[in-house]
A and B are shown apart, each in its own frame.
Chain A
């Protein structure tokens, strides 16, 4: 097990304390792609900030490769390098004069050699699909929002984390930007074998990418499993105000009307094929029926 959470509670100390996490147990294996969903305020952001030691749990332990990350023997800086966290609206954290310098911030803090830093910056820019030569000397503040977002993500990728956590990375991007980011995530997961945790409000994206879905409600994980399993629980999701992916919703409704379709496909194209095959079968069945 790569990361383990044992009975985590987290309370924000204010005048009236807010219990953000209330007894979370969770294990994350290397190579998983976890989709984290839940209503706003359910504790998703709090949970992921615990994973790299930005927040300390009020109760419970977080183990990374079997070691408690908040104990003395573990260097938090090391954990933060290995568990990369991309915050919501990460472009608001850009600060350097040039794109290259900003991306180099992380590797520099990790005390890497000059050439290695340079290499990482190139690689990271390449990963997010921006050309090194034409972007490296530009000011990050004169780029479009989508480009800034990608630079910010590159800043985390340059650390070469083993686990990449993204807190609603698609928020505010246009469809093309979202698609590119999704492709990047898929590439990181499949080809570079990164462990990924994705927080998103878009069920479609979670359903298509995640190998496991966690559903949070009021500080607890109330449902988890493969996307097909989780999205089968329409009633429970509805109880906590979450929708099904549009595709699943349509397939389920068709099934209720008597069309024999599978409801565990999430890509639009697959769903189209599924419906077409089902329709074909049905019409064949009708034709062969003697009236």
Chain B
């Protein structure tokens, strides 16, 4: 179902992970993603996975939910795997049938890439699951602030992101509803070839866009009538403050990252 997608769906909690400063969480996530691209052994991936599991357990996140978040990338994963299996050349030939050939290097890179994608998604979903969209954008805004000097509208960008994140579940729900309504009129979203399926999406997408625009309009009005103004002069209700635990955790993460990247 559409509503299974985890992005932007925060699970409130009070674990140490939940209470971390969002800026630190974002930085750690960026760091870990970078490290992920340097890992080139399965032991490295295994250690990374171990780290992910430990964080999941500390944050008391339902593992099922995190796994369900992987579903949307299922096809990407399969595709990556197959492309590498059949196209990457090198090493011994493992299996051959007519023009199809799987070689050793293909198997390795295939599984490497897949592990990389899955771990990447898992790690970033930890961030979005344990951080409310509000905190997340606050964090991003702080981190982008230095760039404001070069004319980057950090505040506006952050606001746009908050809104986008906030409306993903709403739009998915809306899509679900419209889909049902069109099905009630005999629409068929599930069968047919690619062209037929693409065509079948029109009755879903048109109303969805219209409703998105209508929502945007209404939201803009509502914000304006509550005197929203962009710009740097906005003050905030909750100032972000680094705590000592945040610094320790960051150092810990950095240490782990360096350690893992040795494998």
Contact = CB atoms under 8 A, between A and B. Distances in A.
Interface of A: 15, 49, 52, 54, 77, 80-81, 84-85, 87, 90, 92-95, 105-106, 109-110, 141, 155-156, 159
A155 B181 CA distance: 11
Contacts of B181: 85, 87, 90, 93
Contacts of B178: 92-93
Contacts, number: 55
Contact of A84 (B11, B62, B180, B184): B184
Contacts of B184: 52, 54, 80, 84-85, 87, 156
Ranked 9 nearest A-B pairs via Cβ: A109-B186, A95-B206, A106-B185, A85-B184, A93-B181, A87-B181, A95-B203, A54-B180, A95-B207
B183 A141 contact: no
A interface: dominant SS: helix
B202 A95 contact: yes
Nearest to A152: B181
8 contacts: A15-B11, A77-B186, A85-B184, A87-B177, A92-B178, A95-B206, A105-B185, A156-B184
A84 B180 CA distance: 12
A93 B181 CA distance: 7
Contacts of A106: 185-186
A159 B186 CA distance: 9
B interface: dominant SS: helix
Q: By CB atoms of chain B within 10 A, which of A49, A54, A92, A106 has the most? A: A92
Interface string B171-201: 0000001101111111110000000000000
A49 B180 contact: yes
Contacts of B62: 15
B245 interface: no
Contacts of A90: 181
Nearest to A55: B180
A95 B182 CA distance: 10
B100 interface: no
Nearest to A106: B185
B9 to A, nearest CB: 10
B210 interface: yes
A156 to B, nearest CB: 7
B43 to A, nearest CB: 34
Contacts of A94: 207
Interface in B200-218: 202-203, 206-207, 210-211
A221 B149 CA distance: 64
Q: By CB atoms of chain B within 10 A, which of A54, A80, A94, A109 has the most? A: A109
A77 B188 contact: yes
A109 B185 CA distance: 7
